[in-house]
Structure 1
Amino acid sequence: MFIAAPGSSRLFDHARALPGVTAVPMSFPAKIKDFPRMRAAWRTLRTLIERERFDVIHANGSPDHRLLLLVMLWWKKPRPGIVFTKHNSIAIKRDFLTRLRATLATDEVIAVADSTAELVRGSVYGRCPLTVVKNGVDLVKFAPRDTAVAAVKRERMLGKECAKRLVIGTISGFDSYKGTMDMIAAVAALPADLRAQVMVVVVGTEPNDEQNQSIDSLGMRDHVHVAGFVENVADYIATFDVGFVLSFAVEAVSFACREMMAMAKPVIVTSYAGLPENVDDGENGWIVEPRDVEALSATLRSIIAARSQLPAIGARAYVKAISEFSDERFIDATEAVYRRVAPAFTAPAPFIVNSIVTRLSTSSWDA
């Protein structure tokens, strides 16, 4: 297995530490102004494919897929099977280059959510075989934690008094489309006595100046803890009572939602894209309309009123994660796609013998 990724990316750092994996530093310039860099990347990728004679190439983003197309346009030898994964809810263009990618550089498409699959079916990729492979999570790393240990972490993070509040958390950061500011506004809209019972914890991207001003203007500074980027998000998820992912753009099925549910945390999600595919409303989490702060605030009131029921709701979230979110399911389904597209592949199942898979990735592994 070879993984080509930008040398500055987290994916590259992870890949080069894995036994049996060769990490190749490679950029994926996508704009006309980057033509000199694109030409150099094209040469690097072409040389790599010629030398290694891959059975399968897996492109995980549009820039890498475009670069792969440019290689295939002048490819004279039998080419490897090519898999393209659609990771988000962004509309697929119908321009000439995208049509070429679908026709000349795609043998099968993977969609990471049912909603994403519908997007693919109505696009220029509609002619391609399509498989839905929803994101899997590491159910060993993301598993329920000892409550006493989590309580200690929570008190150290928030202080003794704030740790007693209902902690509603996310690991999606403050990227604008993630809806984190909607949660803060919904808490601010609660009656004063209920608002005093809530703490919002945000792991990931930190707030920008405008978001910080909004937090202050809402009087929420004492109700928001910003953890920023951390090495082990599971340690922070363990401190949550409830998780949330309130995206209203770009999102697919959400690793963050699945990781929190795997740690027995009920999650509030929006009805956007693939998010509601994770949650059974009222059973193991809650579904609200995107950007509807009033409805979200009402949901929070019901959660506060039934706080004692949260462990049971979280337990149901964990059961769903065990049955549907495992990385074993994800790996097996992905490998099945590789077997279908690999030309003349005859190794006996379940082993891949003498087969090298290249995974080309940019944003999907950095998210």
Structure 2
Amino acid sequence: MKILLTNFHYGRGGGHDTYILAIAKGLSRRHQIFVAAPSSSRLFEKASKLEHVTTLPLEFPAKLKDAGRMISAWRALRSLLEKERFDVVHVNGSPDHRLVVFSLMCFKGRKPRIVLTKHNSIAIKSDFVTKIRARATDDVIAVSDSTASLVRDSVYRHCSLITIKNGVDTDDFKPSDAAEIAAARKSLLGESKADKLVLGTVTGFDWYKGTMDVIAAVSALPPSLREKIAVVVVGTEPSAEQWQVIDSVGMRSQLEVAGFVEDVKPYIRAFDIGFVTSYAVETVSFACREMMAMGKPVIVSSYSGLPENVRDGVDGWVVPPHDPDSLTRALKGILERGDRLADMGKMARAKAVDEFSQGLFVDRTEMVYRLSQS
């Protein structure tokens, strides 16, 4: 099959990048894979390095002020679709979905099947343009059970719907031995903090990620417990306002901020516990699954599809979203039962291997493409 994967982000696309790259790499030896994204995007850069994958510099303008660029982008995409005659176009957001649908209007010959992945927990609109997109869409992939419910109750209800939860490379994201973990902690935190309970995430400080809730929860612990914890955050750095809050609760000395890194594994290696405490936008979370694959139990909020990752008290913990008090209580319990962390980490790894494998994720996505050709 000839398959086009599209994405609209101009810089970092977060989970979209990880998702598309996994599919492109996994299917590139079995199918003709094309990736269309803005030339300035991280996705374009990474996909360009994949063997047997063709990258196409295309923009997907979304704002009315970009009407002129929209026309140019429409012409470029229409020309590409007419030339390549794809079997499947797999879209991953509203801007690229919209442009693909409009580019296929009055299309001569057999149209490609349109597959849409619903990546987030944002409610689906029912306006005129969204209804047009929905009518032109054949299959919808939901990345969590929660997301699938949104699709079923929307203008996409007529589409073929399948839930395919994100997969991670469990051969790449794997547990480290004690010496590697000790070295990672010493390198990241220094000698003086290497014995702390390391609470970490690779989701950054974006407002909806709930990282500031974790900062508040740790700061509210009794001093004797608080001093046992170090917090490590990889990803978006705190805003000036967030730094003010961090300083106001005296958490700067207990916080290590790494910013964006290409390889998160050395940081996850140093964690004792991961956390993904989002309260908006999030669905199933690659970050959570990567940490679990490396043998780290994870604290998740009971938001959207996040609880679908863990079994509360077995390989992680589930807490109410945007609720620092509940987080504080959970942390107290975790500190009191620190002897359970190793076993919980093993359970997290086992679940990742059984349910989160990238091979299963890619094969199930390919099944959607193949069914569309039958």
Kindly indicate whether residue 117 of structure 2 is the aligned counterpart of residue 72 of structure 1: no
Task: List per-residue Cα deviations over 1:43-94 (Å, max 9, x = no partner).
Answer: 1111111111111110011110000111122313210111000000001110
Deviation of 1:180 (Å): 0.3
- Give the Cα separation in 2 of the matches to 1:27 and 1:14: 17
Residue 282 of structure 1 corresponds to: 313
Per the alignment, in what secondary structure is the counterpart of residue 125 of structure 1? coil
Deviation of 1:310 (Å): 0.5
Unaligned runs of 5+ in 1: 346-367
Choose from 94, 109, 126 the match for 1:94: 126
- Give the Cα separation in 2 of the matches to 1:48 and 1:55: 13
Task: List per-residue Cα deviations over 1:137-156 (Å, max 9, x = no partner).
Answer: 01111110122112112112
Q: CA RMSD in A?
A: 0.8
CA contact (8 A) 1:82 1:341 kept: no
Deviation of 1:161 (Å): 1.6
TM-score (norm 2): 0.90
Deviation of 1:32 (Å): 1.4
CA contact (8 A) 1:168 1:244 kept: yes
- Give the Cα separation in 2 of the matches to 1:73 and 1:35: 18
Residue 10 of structure 1 corresponds to: 42
Count of residues paired in the alignment: 342
Per the alignment, in what secondary structure is the counterpart of residue 58 of structure 1? strand
Deviation of 1:169 (Å): 0.0
Residue 355 of structure 1 corresponds to: none
- Give the Cα separation in 2 of the matches to 1:237 and 1:36: 44
Q: Which amino acid aligns with 1:284?
A: D
- Give the Cα separation in 2 of the matches to 1:228 and 1:112: 26
Deviation of 1:162 (Å): 1.0
Deviation of 1:35 (Å): 0.7
CA contact (8 A) 1:284 1:314 kept: yes
Q: Which amino acid aligns with 1:310?
A: L
TM-score (norm 1): 0.92
The answer to which structure, 1 or 2, has the higher relative contact order (CA under 8 A, 6+ apart) is 1
Deviation of 1:309 (Å): 1.5
Per the alignment, in what secondary structure is the counterpart of residue 191 of structure 2? coil
Residue 268 of structure 1 corresponds to: 299
Kindly indicate whether residue 179 of structure 2 is the aligned counterpart of residue 156 of structure 1: no
Per the alignment, in what secondary structure is the counterpart of residue 4 of structure 1? strand
Q: Which amino acid aligns with 2:317?
A: W
Choose from 110, 127, 152 the match for 2:158: 127
Where do 1:59-208 residues align within 5 Å? 59-104=91-136, 106-208=137-239
Q: Which amino acid aligns with 2:90?
A: H
- Give the Cα separation in 1 of the matches to 2:362 and 2:103: 28
Kindly indicate whether residue 43 of structure 2 is the aligned counterpart of residue 43 of structure 1: no
Per the alignment, in what secondary structure is the counterpart of residue 270 of structure 2? coil
- Give the Cα separation in 2 of the matches to 1:63 and 1:130: 21
- Give the Cα separation in 1 of the matches to 2:82 and 2:183: 55
Moved over 2 A (4+): none
